[in-house]
A and B are shown apart, each in its own frame.
Chain A
Amino acid sequence: MTTPRPAPTEADAAIEAWVQRARGGDLTAFNQLVLRYQDPVYGLTLRMLGAPQAAEDATQEAFIRAWQRLETFRGGSFKSWLFTIAANQARDELRRRGRRPTTSLSGNNDDDDLPDIDPPDHDPTPLEQVEQAELRGALEAALRTLPDDWREVVVLSDIHGMDYREISEATGLALGTVKSRLSRARGRLREVIRSSRELHEAAERLGDRR
């Protein structure tokens, strides 16, 4: 796990209960699960597809399929199971498009293509805020230039906190492939961070001189 896996909590128990009731045909219980997970599921499909409308469609379709296949959920992490369905949905969409989506979107500087992002919870200094906003923007842009296969893996791992085994299950990739794609994606993003940092250092030097 890239982020610490929380110990079972009351929330987990509630999810388990909703899953059970939804299995029994309780749509209200299922919709509780939808409301709980729609943000990360939408976030995942948006990152994979790069376009809000396509992400909406994939998200809706993922929840419909989740309802339809609830019988096949064998316990474990419901979120991982749901993400597997959503990632499949997004991957199918990419396949339908002929695998040429997001790189072209990065050249298309339409604000609609940028995800709707809320500021982080902690309160950074104004300078940090600027830096972080810039870094985020740079990372978002860099993410969109990654090959679809790499992006899927790095999004599942570093944005959604899935471990190698979970990613392997969600994508059908071998563990070794998960490991290498993740590392390649991070390596590419590392260049972005380095250049962003160099830019800041240069700006600071310029400020000092004044």
Chain B
Amino acid sequence: MTPLERLEERLSAYLDGELTSAERSAVEAELEASVEARETLGDLRLVRSALATLDDVRAPRSFALAVPPARVPAGGSLALMRRLELVVRASAAGAALLFVVAVVHEPMSLATGGVAEEAMTTFEATAPGPETLRAADPAGASVAPAFAPEATPASSQPALAPAPANGAVLPPSSGGGAGEGGVMGAAGADGGQGGGADGTTPADAQPKGDLAATDVETFATSASPVDDGPGTIHVPETSHGVGGVAPALATLTVLLVILSALMAWSRREDQSQR
């Protein structure tokens, strides 16, 4: 900002009566002392009064409404949509929890301590609402990169969908071993993606619809390994312990998350048109 622009800003606000009394006194002193300040003020005053005369545009026609357009219900359809979206999110979180429970009942335990806690945080955080969802985001993000690399060396099937549940719930003492590392890697990655994407949806949705669309794509890609889950999960314990329930719940969770992202996206589109 040039000195002239700063002067104009002070004088412009002075003209509008938008200065504090201290600022006003300072400007008045400046006006007494400086010719340039007085000239600038005179010009700005002229601009303002000249612009005020432009307030005489006539509408080219009547904009009176012939028929009453449908009213937005109290609170707005937007709010309704938002509530629905929350319900879907809550369902997704519920499905995720059920999934966790289902996998916990499986005899083979697969967790390690720190991971379990972090993953748990991620899952818990998905439940209550957008605020905490956002809060969950960093947790999810930190889990994902930290554990995804472990997954590959430890297990030949890194993207195992049902795994996060194990990691999330089992106490630290129940864990240990290579297979678990692999599964937990998947847990971390899955939790990271799911939690992260879920968490970012409200935030992303705010600036642009196409960001949310990217989210949807992310969900879609993360969904495919999960959907393939039942077929590709070769941790034997998982397959007979939980049967079809856990994969089904995982699929349900992913579908609900996708649905919620779609809703957020369409809401944004709708809002941007308002």
Using a CB–CB distance below 8 Å, which chain A residues touch chain B?
Answer: 1-3, 25, 27, 30-31, 34-35, 38-43, 46-47, 52, 56, 59-60, 63-65, 67-72, 88-89, 92, 95, 115-118, 120, 132, 135-136, 139-140, 154, 157-161, 163-164, 179-180, 182-184, 186-187, 189-190, 193-194
Contact = CB atoms under 8 A, between A and B. Distances in A.
Contacts of B8: 183-184, 186-187, 190
B274 A190 contact: no
Contacts of A89: 274
Given A67-B69, A67-B71, A186 B54 contact: no
Contacts of A184: 5, 8-9
A132 B43 contact: no
Interface string B49-79: 0111111111111111101111110101000
A35 B47 contact: no
Contacts of A116: 57-58, 60
A42 B54 CA distance: 13
A189 B13 CA distance: 16
B68 A25 contact: yes
A1 B16 CA distance: 7
B228 interface: no
Contacts of B55: 40, 43, 159-161
B65 A68 contact: no
A105 B71 CA distance: 36
B72 A60 contact: no
A200 to B, nearest CB: 13
Contacts of B70: 68
A94 to B, nearest CB: 12
Interface string B71-109: 110101000000000000000000000000000000000
Nearest to A52: B60
Contact of B63 (A2, A60, A92): A60
A56 B61 contact: yes
Contacts of B65: 27, 30-31, 34, 63-64, 67
Contacts of A179: 9, 12-13, 18
Contact of A118 (B18, B50, B56, B273): B56
Nearest to A115: B57
A120 B53 contact: yes
Interface residues of B, number: 42
A42 B46 contact: no
B16 A2 contact: yes
Nearest to A59: B63
Given A71-B71, A189-B47, A190-B43, 9 more contacts: A30-B65, A39-B57, A60-B63, A71-B74, A116-B58, A116-B60, A135-B50, A179-B9, A190-B8
B234 interface: no
Contacts of B51: 139, 154, 158-159, 189
A82 to B, nearest CB: 11
10 contacts: A39-B57, A39-B58, A67-B65, A95-B272, A132-B53, A136-B53, A136-B54, A158-B52, A183-B8, A184-B5
Name the residue among B52, B67, B272 with the largest chain A CB count within 10 angstroms: B52
Nearest to B271: A92
B110 to A, nearest CB: 49
A59 B59 contact: yes
B16 A163 contact: yes
Nearest to A46: B57
Contacts of A132: 53
A66 to B, nearest CB: 10
Contact of B69 (A41, A68, A159, A194): A68
Nearest to A135: B50
Given A63-B63, A180-B9, A190-B43, A27 B54 contact: no
A72 B43 CA distance: 40
B48 A35 contact: no
A34 B52 CA distance: 22
B44 interface: yes
B57 A117 contact: yes
Given A92-B273, A186-B12, A186-B44, A35 B64 contact: yes
Contact of A182 (B12, B40, B50): B12
A38 B221 CA distance: 50
B141 to A, nearest CB: 29
A127 to B, nearest CB: 16
